[in-house]
Amino acid sequence: MTATTVRALRLADTAEAADLAAFLGRLIRYDRAAAVRLQAGGGAVAVFGRPPALEVLAIRTARLRSPEPGAVPGAAVELDVTVSAGELLEAIDELTGGIALPAAVTGPPWTGVLPPRGGWGQVPGLPGPAALREAVAAGVAEFRARDEALPAAHRDRAERDRIGREIWSRTVGDTGLPLRAVHAAQSVGFLRPMPEDAPVALLRSGAWTRLRTPYGSIAVRTGGTGAGGTGGLSVTPT
């Protein structure tokens, strides 16, 4: 199969378009200047974003309709580009599922270091979605209580950042997953209420750990020099 220059994508259905738009909306709510990296292939597109301050990657995948607009018979859709999250959001037509891709931008440094495509193995001991949401709520409540208890002379950005780092650097049980990854999942809508039997899993590949839910994944580099160096996460829908 041959590749073709991609200037537009068409998602599999309008539900995919609405979910992707909601994800982008949450990202730019925290950072109006957010950029995202798109990778398309294998009938799907993956959108990578970085919620501010939490040092994790949020990944939302969406199925593509085939054939794509403008594609020639037998052509494979291949795409790897960084764009403005806000411009991408504006380019999504939720009525048709079409996306006219905005112009590429020079991305921030994180866009050059993505999780590996393969080598993921499941890590045991991950609590269920309800328990994860409770852990985030407890962390938020602790932060607020400690912030309110600070003397006026110490209630500044540096001290608040120190408290935040202490709370969100804690790990979930014995899994090694930083609580900030769970906080990020909650913030971008990946931990919203889901069916009791929904597949939620914790995966690891080299230096990377990945929290996967039916709505998307949060990947965090937890150290080491294993297979998690660079490359791209598989865009197969999860």
pLDDT tens, residue by residue, 165-216: 999 999 999 999 999 999 999 999 999 888 777 789 999 999 999 999 999 9
User: Which are the contacts of 97, defined by CB distance < 8 A and separation ≥ 6?
Assistant: 10, 11, 12, 13, 14, 16, 17, 65
Q: Are residues 91 and 13 in the same domain?
A: yes
- Supply the CATH number for residue 58's domain: 3.10.150
E strand or H helix at 148: helix 129-148
Kindly state whether residues 125 and 168 are assigned to the same domain: yes
CA–centroid distance for 150 within its chain: 33
* Number of domains, the chain: 2
Q: Which domain holds residue 20?
A: 2-112
Q: Are residues 83 and 132 in the same domain?
A: no
Residue 229 lies in a domain: no
Kindly state whether residues 69 and 32 are assigned to the same domain.
Answer: yes
Residue type, 6: V
Q: Give the global pTM.
A: 0.86
Closest CA to 235 of 18, 56, 48: 48
User: Residues 7-28: pLDDT tens digits?
Assistant: 899 999 999 999 999 999 999 9
In a domain, 176, yes or no: yes
The full length of the chain comes to: 238
The answer to whether residues 107 and 126 belong to one domain is: no
Least confident range of 2-6, 19-23, 83-87, 89-93 = 2-6
Assess if residue 30 is contained within a domain: yes
142 and 90 belong to one structural domain: no
- Helices 157-168, 179-187: axis angle to 10 degrees equals 100
User: Between these two residues, 222 and 95, which has the higher pLDDT value?
Assistant: 95
Q: Are residues 97 and 130 in the same domain?
A: no
- 132/198 Cα distance (integer angstroms): 14
Domain identity same for 190 and 157: yes
Same domain, 89 and 36: yes
When pLDDT is averaged across residues 87-108 and rounded to a whole number, the result is: 95
Helix (H, G, I), strand (E, B), or coil: what is residue 63?
A: strand
Q: Is residue 78 located within the same domain as residue 135?
A: no
Residue 231 placed within a domain: no
Distances (CA, A) of 145 to 36, 101, 139, 141: 34, 44, 10, 6
- Please check whether residues 125 and 108 belong to one and the same domain: no
Q: What is the pLDDT of residues 52-66, one digit of tens each?
A: 888 999 999 999 986
Same domain, 158 and 103: no
- 3-state DSSP call for residue 212? strand
Q: Are strands 2-4 and 75-77 parallel, antiparallel or unpaired?
A: parallel
